[in-house]
Structure 1
């Protein structure tokens, strides 16, 4: 029987091991563990440690910090999909009296709520959660630092509020809802709010000497939905597969795609480094790849989860030190190593199982003015519109069941595409958000706004 370690070529496995060995040695981490998932399952696990003869495996827990936020976001999106809330709902509708009630659920998920980055002193990551028993203790007397919805400002209290929202609407503690709604369906039995053996201890490494200091491990209390979880590379590799593909027991593929879509306005620095934030997921472009996932840190621990959906490769990296290795770079490198050394083999082309004749009728070239586009039908993508040259507007569309389609992405997201028919039932032109697409440039037989010069096309002489 083939083991996961044998799913990658020896040269690829050695390159992965070398990368985490460099990260552990140069970052001076007491231990560092990593996993790679491809084609929907884990295919590699590696570990480096300062303790001779002890190599943590994929079942050893590490604290994962803000990767917890992605789990909390999944719970909120489940509530939305069930109809318990709308992302446009103001917080006040569900949790009145917080002082941040004008922020929407989407604002909280995307860190555009205007809330502070941290809770009031003392430093919440190194003090017991019992010091902040109520939401008011987490949010402080003036919760909002910025206008709601205007800028991205990462907020740990914002995800505490989302955890409280989950508890209010579910009628159970956040931890119990997480277990029943996400962890058990996905088989993440080594992910928990409190450490369960075997687990790593958290350490601070002196910046100028090779000596260690143990870090305290605090129960974060109310702040738990922002950073409490402990997990393993094995569990997080399975979670990464879910975030790339969806799982109808938890969230559909369409909803996890929504999580991976930028939702926060980019600031100047974000534009320069190619980063953005979705609904509980960080998004960045690195070395030409679009990567999604989340990083995490708490005193004593660092964590990173990185996914390239296009390559169908994900990486998880965990370390038990407060600072040191740049795990976001390590995660991106692990994805790159696998994707470049062993590129994804495309699935076999297969024809569509069925197609409606009226839909097939709109396939082919169309012109928006003089710009050439094509409507394509495919088994994988459904209906798509794309320019025939250059990098113009493109989008995929979802059928509405009435002969119209709604854009799923890009410029035409949410816009209605419909075929306008003549009296005899043949297609005259396409209407896309009021834009007219014709079979010929400025087709005089179609309803081109402004009309077409009766003398037609001509040269200059």
Structure 2
């Protein structure tokens, strides 16, 4: 199909090697054939640009392109989460706030916003009957109809239990604080700034129809397409491969018009412990997390009657992929992850060239080199933007990167020391005594002669033999 939208621009496919393109096409061909999907369309992003798209279909001559809409189901939740993080970044809420503070009168008011975002509020997975995905949204006109008489199934904060009603509550939160509908906030704050003009709450041609495929015969049944009403923030959206590839770039890099890179990275960070036996997956703030063949991925899958969708991003590889299918039960959840793997393995990302720092800060340079926590040796090195990195010189230990705060201290960015403060402690004459990292002392010598730097002191007789 030809796109009627001149603004949609697809880079030439030859940016990937021919062998890589062939491998991608083979993977989606196998998926469409073995998954018995009426149609399948997919795309790959590398380093911020869509570099490949392809499709397979059961109807000769009618293959969808990257501008054909499919329903994306729960990928909608990631858009809703972005709206909530925007409210947080503007100071209109805190993620630790109970919902009651902003949306009073619900039966789930004690749940915090963070718990709703990462599905740890303990709420039920679904609404009370009838099945909300196949019934009109106006059959649940109030939040009480969405939550039912017993909204909580588990103690809040104890475990991850995926909840569609939880995202209805987050949509209502957005409406309460913005004073406009969830749909209007979505359009103004995400879709328009990112240029996602083919992402809509209702289908806009060209779009695929949703189908159920009989489990024991190669025959089809059309699926209904309902307006989900209050449940829209959990799964309403229709989108295209082109738009979702743009959205994937945003999820990897951020965009100051919508959400900073730091806040998007916060969304990608694990917010809950994985369930027992589920160490290859987790959840952040509106994003699913997965480890596939050793590769860390962030994104989301989605399904509604007639459709299955997946979007996965590997930030380390600079690669993302999207796959959209118009079949109810097609086993396609990790297809996009496979497309990421194919590109990342066939054409590994080139490392950035080494470059010296733009200037020399001799005071910082004097801090580099070996330091000792007790008797364990660490090395301190400078990084860009006046940051530092501290890591054991031998064996395992607590390594971390730190960013400068502007007041002569550094804040940990990862690992055990995330959020902890590293500072230089000086003697009265201005010389460096030791480093203080969250009260841990790092000295230039292992239990050296400057005993005042070491809590508890050092034996005055010093080191000795047996």
Q: TM-score normalised by the shorter chain: which range applies?
A: over 0.9
Displacement after TM superposition at 1:355 (Å): 5.9
Instruction: Map 1:298-317 onto structure 2 (within 5 A).
Output: 298-317=304-323
Matched, 1:6 2:14: yes
Displacement after TM superposition at 1:83 (Å): 0.6
More deviation, 450-459/154-163: 450-459
Matched, 1:214 2:219: no
Q: 1:289 aligns with which of 289, 295, 317?
A: 295
State the aligned residue count.
Answer: 457
1:212-255 deviation digits (Å, cap 9, x = unpaired): 00000000000000000000011111111110111111111111
* Contact kept? 1:246, 1:252, Cα under 8 Å: yes
- Distance in 2 of aligned mates of 1:244 and 1:162: 23
Q: 1:193 aligns with which of 201, 225, 236?
A: 201
* Contact kept? 1:150, 1:265, Cα under 8 Å: no
Matched, 1:458 2:455: no
Displacement after TM superposition at 1:286 (Å): 1.4
Displacement after TM superposition at 1:425 (Å): 1.2
Counterpart position of 1:384: 389
Counterpart position of 1:67: 75
Gaps of 5+ in 2: 1-8
Matched, 1:393 2:398: yes
Counterpart position of 2:152: 144
- Distance in 1 of aligned mates of 2:395 and 2:345: 26
Q: 2:38 aligns with which of 18, 30, 42?
A: 30
* Contact kept? 1:283, 1:293, Cα under 8 Å: yes
- Distance in 2 of aligned mates of 1:131 and 1:335: 40
Counterpart position of 2:62: 54
Q: 1:96 aligns with which of 98, 104, 107?
A: 104
Compared CA separation, residues 412 and 43, structure 1 to 2 (3 A): same
- Distance in 2 of aligned mates of 1:311 and 1:13: 17
Displacement after TM superposition at 1:288 (Å): 0.9
Matched, 1:178 2:186: yes
Q: Secondary structure at the match of 2:234?
A: helix
Counterpart position of 1:19: 27
Q: Secondary structure at the match of 2:106?
A: coil
Q: Secondary structure at the match of 1:164?
A: helix
Q: Secondary structure at the match of 2:152?
A: coil
- Distance in 2 of aligned mates of 1:381 and 1:193: 45
Counterpart position of 1:349: 354
Q: Superposition RMSD on alpha carbons, in Å?
A: 1.6
Q: Secondary structure at the match of 1:268?
A: coil
* Contact kept? 2:385, 2:404, Cα under 8 Å: no
Displacement after TM superposition at 1:379 (Å): 2.0
* Contact kept? 2:67, 2:198, Cα under 8 Å: yes
Displacement after TM superposition at 1:364 (Å): 2.4
Q: Secondary structure at the match of 1:222?
A: helix
Displacement after TM superposition at 1:357 (Å): 4.6
- Distance in 2 of aligned mates of 1:252 and 1:437: 34
1:379-420 deviation digits (Å, cap 9, x = unpaired): 279322222233321222232211112222221122111111
- Distance in 2 of aligned mates of 1:2 and 1:25: 26
Instruction: Map 1:155-170 onto structure 2 (within 5 A).
Output: 155-170=163-178
- Distance in 1 of aligned mates of 2:106 and 2:361: 52
Q: 1:416 aligns with which of 405, 421, 424?
A: 421
1:12-57 deviation digits (Å, cap 9, x = unpaired): 0000000000000000000011100001110000100001001111
Q: 2:327 aligns with which of 313, 317, 321?
A: 321
More deviation, 331-340/449-458: 449-458
- Distance in 2 of aligned mates of 1:10 and 1:161: 47
1:77-107 deviation digits (Å, cap 9, x = unpaired): 0010011111111111111111211111111
Counterpart position of 2:234: 226
- Distance in 1 of aligned mates of 2:11 and 2:286: 33
- Distance in 1 of aligned mates of 2:68 and 2:91: 37
Q: Secondary structure at the match of 2:248?
A: helix
- Distance in 2 of aligned mates of 1:41 and 1:127: 38
* Contact kept? 1:444, 1:451, Cα under 8 Å: no
- Distance in 2 of aligned mates of 1:222 and 1:408: 38
Compared CA separation, residues 380 and 204, structure 1 to 2 (3 A): farther
Compared CA separation, residues 376 and 214, structure 1 to 2 (3 A): same
Displacement after TM superposition at 1:266 (Å): 2.3
TM-score for the superposition, normalised by structure 2: 0.95
Compared CA separation, residues 2 and 209, structure 1 to 2 (3 A): closer
- Distance in 2 of aligned mates of 1:428 and 1:410: 25
- Distance in 2 of aligned mates of 1:356 and 1:143: 58
* Contact kept? 2:386, 2:403, Cα under 8 Å: no
